[in-house]
Amino acid sequence: MLSTNPFADLATVIPAFLMQYFVIAMVLLIIVGTGLDMLHKKNVIYFFRNAQKAKKSAKNELTTGKKTAVILKTVVHDIGTTSELGWGKRRLAHVLGMYGTILFWIGSAVLIFKYSDGTVAPSYIPIVWHLGAIMTCLGGYWFWFFLRVDVSAEAHPWYRIITADLFVLALLACATFGIAWSFTQSAGMSIISYIFFTLFIVSNIFLFGGVYWSKFAHMFYKPGAAIQKNLAEADGSRDNLPPPADAPKQFGLGIKREEPKHY
């Protein structure tokens, strides 16, 4: 199953160009949804004004090379390893989900656009697709059942769902139904595989069509915010915040009473 391209067998029922058009439509939904989200929340205007304010209060003038170094370090360290979460289970779950999703989406695009017309895909590409889906499920379900703030720290039940949960639930549905569809298809269970494929398509529509209502757009905002924050640290503007105090941190003995989990 892992080395089998599920989209190749699907092409015998659905033309390859329809699958490609579907992917393009999902990308357009991301663009439209993110655009509407920016217009509604005015995030770009806020970041632009904040950057202009920081530029006026900067204490150091950064060269192009220095800015590039800060941006690259932010992308590789802060964004690429989700370092803001510190060392622990939350960070590991996010890294699993993030890189799993990237592999899953890239694998889907390659298999659909290059190997859904009868061309045999190298075995490692379907393996990447399946591995990405499995990693997404591992990180996502771990986060959903055990690590969410309102579950682990605020004692809400895991089945409590709000609008902001649309992104993670739709993403998990995509990965789960994708794996189930591939497995049942390779096992020759045609009717069941078509059911899982339909659920796979529907979950994708919810995922990419619900950008405006979910946290999908945060994937674009958070890198920009992290870059702006580190540039502000480098030029001394610090987003108009005071510098760190020289005095040692004093938390008192109360901090040792329980494991920190209130994020």
pLDDT in tens, 120-138: 888 899 999 999 999 999 9
For 143, the enclosing helix (H) or strand (E) is none
Closest CA to 5 of 134, 163, 119: 119
Cα–Cα dist 212/207, whole Å: 10
Entry pTM:
0.79
Across the range 202-216, mean pLDDT stands at: 87
Across the range 63-92, mean pLDDT stands at: 82
Closest CA to 212 of 39, 27, 21: 39
Closest CA to 236 of 46, 44, 66, 49: 66
Residue 36 lies in domain: 6-235
Residues with Cβ within 8 Å of residue 13, at least 6 apart in sequence:
none
- Residue 251 in domain: no
Across the range 168-180, mean pLDDT stands at: 94
Cα–Cα dist 177/196, whole Å: 6
Structural domain count of the chain = 1
- Residue 47 in domain: yes
